[in-house]
Amino acid sequence: MDRSLKIETYSRIHITLIGMNVEGYRRNGGIGFSIDRPTMICKFVPSDTFRIIDNRSDALNYQEHERLLSHLKDLYLRYGCVRTFECTIESDIIPHCGFGSSTMLYLSVTEALFILNNVQYSREQLVKASGRGGTSGIGINTYFDGGFICDIGVKNTGGKTSITPSSISENDNQPFVVYRHLMPQWEFGVCISRQLGFLTEKEEVSFFDHIRSINQSEINEILYHAIYGIVASIEENDFATFKKAIKHIQSTQWKSLERSIYGKEIESIEQILYDNGADAVGMSSLGPLLFFTSNNVDQVVKNINNKHQDLVCFKTQSNNSPRLLSIL
């Protein structure tokens, strides 16, 4: 009898990329952590062909839908599969705003294909087959582990002349994780403005195309705040230092370039959060998702939702659980 499957995955916050150049010892690398909401649920039931039903309020556009189907069909042939499925996506995650939903989705559909076709696979094989993780190792690792991840990217071999996002990067050499740790049970707020709009995969690629390698001295600054600030604070359960480092990272060169996508608007929303009780605010990945800390996250969320109808604000907390697999 053909089986059905459900995979529930957790969002991640991507604090920053690090070595965004093509000249040093290594390129890429980053730090980030898993949060307990929002989650994504993908349900897979037998079907005579691959179908994707995206029930999210912000569903895949036509190009993204076709690309995902093409991904599944290619794997089906490559691994000699005999079973296809219909995938229904349920989630309140807004795509392309910093939760890592594309990585979650590609890992989920790839793992479902393997499980439902009895393909034996390792963690590394699944990541490689998913096509994700070419630039950042955060989402591909929190998928399996939850918690906090620090990776140092991949060795610079001299053959690559540009920096690219994970959606189109080759992932033959997966980012090397040098530190993984359970996250302290810290609370966070999340704030999203629908007025800013969200980048499509094509727009993400365009952003990277217009960015040249950043200076080595700037990378040194990011490393200082990432290792001496964020990693040390996770190891020592030091929330105060974590907050300081998050604030400093926002003005480093790479994060400043990411924030510049939204101009002064992102700064205005950040200031609204501070005015309403946040004590540290960061932007996840390419944004526009802002995450924040506070001595009273509930009150900040309440203030924002009462005063600013154009903002979506809610509370979450760190997550240390892997994705959940259920055979139906």
What confidence category does residue 267 fall into, taking pLDDT thresholds of 50, 70 and 90?
A: very high
Reported as a single tens digit per residue, the pLDDT across 189-224 is 999 997 887 776 777 777 777 776 788 899 999 999
Give the domain ranges of the chain.
5-327
Q: Are 5 and 112 in contact (CB under 8 A)?
A: yes
Single pTM value for the model? 0.93
Beta carbons of 56 and 164 less than 8 angstroms apart: no
Distance in angstroms (rounded) separating the CA atoms of residues 109 and 54: 13
pLDDT higher at 21 or 266: 266
How much is the mean pLDDT over the chain? 92
Q: Which helix (H) or strand (E) holds 140?
A: helix 138-145
Which CATH architecture fits 5-327? 2-Layer Sandwich (3.30)
Helix (H) or strand (E) holding 269: helix 264-275
If pLDDT is split at 50, 70 and 90, which confidence band does 297 have?
Answer: very high
CA angle 66, 130, 30 (to 5 degrees): 115
**pLDDT value, residue 256:** 95
Q: pLDDT of 151-173, one tens digit each?
A: 999 888 766 656 666 555 555 67
pLDDT higher than 90, residue 21: no
User: What are the φ and ψ backbone dihedral angles of 96, each rounded to 5 degrees?
Assistant: 60, 35
